[in-house]
Structure 1
Amino acid sequence: MKRIITIVILAIIISGLGFGWTAARKQPPLAKVTVVGSTALQPLTEAVTKEYRTVNPQTSITVQGGGSGTGLSQVQAGAVNIGASDIFAEQKDGINARRLRDHIVAVSGIVPIVNRQLGIKDLSMSQLRKIYTGEITNWCQVGGPNLPITVINRSAGSGTRVAFEQVVLKDQQPINAQEQDSNGTVKEIVASTPGAISYIATAYLNGQVQPLTIDGINASAANITTNRWPLWSYEHMYTRQAPSRATQEFIDFMQSKRVQQTLVEKAHYINIHDMQVQRTADGIIRLKE
């Protein structure tokens, strides 16, 4: 009798283990999505990723910065699933836009910033242009203290720089200046350098620096959606023409109205569904269709 009971118990254990092995084999493989590029988009992507994982635990998403140029280059090379960019692929040398697919997931305001101790809160567009072309070199020339202007520019691969120069400089060449890759680094330098000026994505604004108005207009969401504040850029997620299912599902989640109305706005980006205008790669503004 004991032998029979032992055999039955062993059979149950083996059966249970077999069921466990079968269940394990049926578990879907972990899907992986890698996002690299724009530091302006990085905080939002990280916030959306955190929520996405709660409803899609079988998808692993890695988010890294590096700049728009890096994101575009790596997605074109097939090294990453998503290249995050503040610029159109057509605006980046060495990128074949026809090989990529554009997904606009947010709009980012761009705002000039200065050291809080400077005492300057507003510049005209003309003054801002002259500062970045080197025609104005001292704050006393725009109503500030007798203090040399320290210009901090973004690196050549920065989408924020492309958007800034397209609107502010037009076809003029910028002054030779210190260049930095990330919004966070730029903010730290301006906060600690008397006389410094630069520009960052509005999502990075806090009490460390003084945001400037331009011609008395501020970088509010309402002003950006109508182009009354012209310093803004699309936040693109570029993929290959045929992205993986996991990649497309993550992008669809970012573009959904629920995410746009909650996480996007909470992170101080502009809801893509609120935009009343649209901008082409060559900078032409049209009413949104």
Structure 2
Amino acid sequence: MSAETRTRAARLTGRRVRQGASLASASLLLSVALTGCAGSAKAGSDAIQASGSTTVAPVASDAAEALKAKGLDITVATQGGSAGGISQLGAGQIDIALSSKPLSEEDRKTYPGTDFVPTQIGADAVGVIITREVADGGVKGLSKAQVAGLFEGKITNWKEVGGPDLPVFVYDKEPGRGTREVLDKFIYGEGEAPAPPKSANYAIVGGNLETRTKLKSTRGSIAPLSTGFIEGHPDLVAVPLDGVAPTLANVTSGKYPMTRPLFMITNGKPKGTVKQYIDYILSPEGQKLLPEHGYLTREQMGL
């Protein structure tokens, strides 16, 4: 990938790489609270429990940490991704669902007793991420048809798309993850994605940290991943899609095809300490947290 594209990543993200223990140990759980996990919401308590998307969780965790000084007790977990957070909220187990995908009608039908109210806190660009070896070997971009062929297991060697003679290894997201829904929409529109290929070179991964680790440790690998998670990792590259790179201008204009909103979802309108928490993230101070993780603010998205 060219120096221009690497600069694009820096422009888009503007983030510092966070390698601290709170994220390194957070592939399954990011906890900034004092006690508890996303098991059951505490009726009548000021403690807040949020769970869901591994994309939204870093921002939610940073905000929770900032509010600890004001006495708020907040637990942020990543259990089951966006779909897991929505189902936990529907079951009354948590106060806030973290989601990198919009609510569906199926979500509302599944939990008719829950008044899902989404609050968009920002946005994120999802990239089709490949290894530096593959990019330097000739893969400077991919078409929609090529992306489909790779994830469907029809393209099995990078030389088929202008790259090195190296087997393709696909790391895909599990169903319900917001990242996978964005990829499916790009490839198939409103159509249904085919069943995963039966291949030894295909595996399902969960959160963003796990995905990044797998990409970095596997030659010839490819995966959908938030572009913010590869900043500071020059061995990974977000390729342009149909000739469009995920630059700030392309994302905010809607030209880049794989952009997703980031939500905090509540049962009913936020109130009390939950409202205080969400209001902080929506405030100028809280919005500064988004670029630190490679995400776009509400202002950048024109919200």
Deviation at 1:271, TM superposition (A): 0.7
User: Please, which of 224, 235, 239 is the counterpart of residue 199 of structure 1?
Assistant: 224
Amino acid at match of 2:293: A
User: Please, which of 143, 146, 150 is the counterpart of residue 165 of structure 2?
Assistant: 146
- 1:95 and 1:89, CA in 2 relative to 1: closer, same or farther beyond 3 A? farther
Paired positions, count = 246
Which has the greater radius of gyration?
1
User: Which residue matches 1:160?
Assistant: 179
Secondary structure of 1:148's aligned partner: coil
Secondary structure of 1:178's aligned partner: strand
User: Which residue matches 2:10?
Assistant: none
Deviation at 1:96, TM superposition (A): 4.5
User: Which residue matches 1:109?
Assistant: 125
TM-score norm. by structure 2 comes to: 0.75
Secondary structure of 1:59's aligned partner: coil
Gaps of 5+ in 1: 1-28, 277-287
Deviation at 1:195, TM superposition (A): 1.2
Judge which range, 93-102 or 120-129, deviates more.
93-102
User: Which residue matches 2:47?
Assistant: 32
User: Which residue matches 1:62?
Assistant: 75
Specify which structure has the higher proportion of strand. Answer: 1
> Is the Cα contact below 8 Å between 1:89 and 1:95 reproduced in 2?
no
> Is the Cα contact below 8 Å between 2:171 and 2:204 reproduced in 1?
yes
For residues 213 and 97 of structure 1, the distance between their equivalents in structure 2, rounded to whole angstroms, comes to 43
- 1:224 and 1:157, CA in 2 relative to 1: closer, same or farther beyond 3 A? same
For residues 150 and 31 of structure 1, the distance between their equivalents in structure 2, rounded to whole angstroms, comes to 46
Deviations 1:36-91 (A, max 9, x none): 0000111111122222333x2x2111111121111001111111110101112216
User: Please, which of 84, 94, 105 is the counterpart of residue 98 of structure 2?
Assistant: 84
In the alignment, does 2:290 pair up with 1:264? yes
Pairwise mapping of residues 1-289 of structure 1 onto structure 2 (< 5 A)?
31-54=46-69, 56=70, 58-66=71-79, 67-90=81-104, 93=107, 94-96=110-112, 99-118=115-134, 119=136, 120-170=139-189, 171=191, 172-173=193-194, 175-176=196-197, 177-205=202-230, 206-207=232-233, 208-260=235-287, 262-276=288-302
- 1:91 and 1:193, CA in 2 relative to 1: closer, same or farther beyond 3 A? farther
For residues 204 and 92 of structure 1, the distance between their equivalents in structure 2, rounded to whole angstroms, comes to 30
- 1:139 and 1:95, CA in 2 relative to 1: closer, same or farther beyond 3 A? farther
For residues 114 and 151 of structure 2, the distance between their equivalents in structure 1, rounded to whole angstroms, comes to 33
- 1:65 and 1:116, CA in 2 relative to 1: closer, same or farther beyond 3 A? same
Deviation at 1:244, TM superposition (A): 4.2
Deviations 1:105-161 (A, max 9, x none): 110110111122223332122211221233322111110112221111001121111
Say which structure, 1 or 2, has more relative contact order (CA 8 Å, 6+ apart).
2
Deviation at 1:98, TM superposition (A): 6.2
Judge which range, 68-77 or 171-180, deviates more.
171-180
Secondary structure of 1:127's aligned partner: helix
Deviation at 1:204, TM superposition (A): 1.0
> Is the Cα contact below 8 Å between 2:63 and 2:281 reproduced in 1?
yes
Secondary structure of 2:149's aligned partner: helix
For residues 91 and 193 of structure 1, the distance between their equivalents in structure 2, rounded to whole angstroms, comes to 38
Secondary structure of 1:274's aligned partner: coil
TM-score norm. by structure 1 comes to: 0.78
- 1:69 and 1:97, CA in 2 relative to 1: closer, same or farther beyond 3 A? farther
> Is the Cα contact below 8 Å between 1:125 and 1:168 reproduced in 2?
yes
For residues 97 and 230 of structure 1, the distance between their equivalents in structure 2, rounded to whole angstroms, comes to 34
For residues 92 and 136 of structure 1, the distance between their equivalents in structure 2, rounded to whole angstroms, comes to 33
Percent identical = 25
For residues 105 and 209 of structure 2, the distance between their equivalents in structure 1, rounded to whole angstroms, comes to 24
Deviations 1:241-262 (A, max 9, x none): 15441011111111123322x2
For residues 96 and 164 of structure 1, the distance between their equivalents in structure 2, rounded to whole angstroms, comes to 28
Gaps of 5+ in 2: 1-43
Secondary structure of 1:233's aligned partner: strand
Deviation at 1:270, TM superposition (A): 0.5
> Is the Cα contact below 8 Å between 2:171 and 2:203 reproduced in 1?
yes
User: Which residue matches 1:17?
Assistant: none
For residues 274 and 218 of structure 2, the distance between their equivalents in structure 1, rounded to whole angstroms, comes to 41
For residues 98 and 62 of structure 1, the distance between their equivalents in structure 2, rounded to whole angstroms, comes to 21
For residues 192 and 178 of structure 1, the distance between their equivalents in structure 2, rounded to whole angstroms, comes to 14
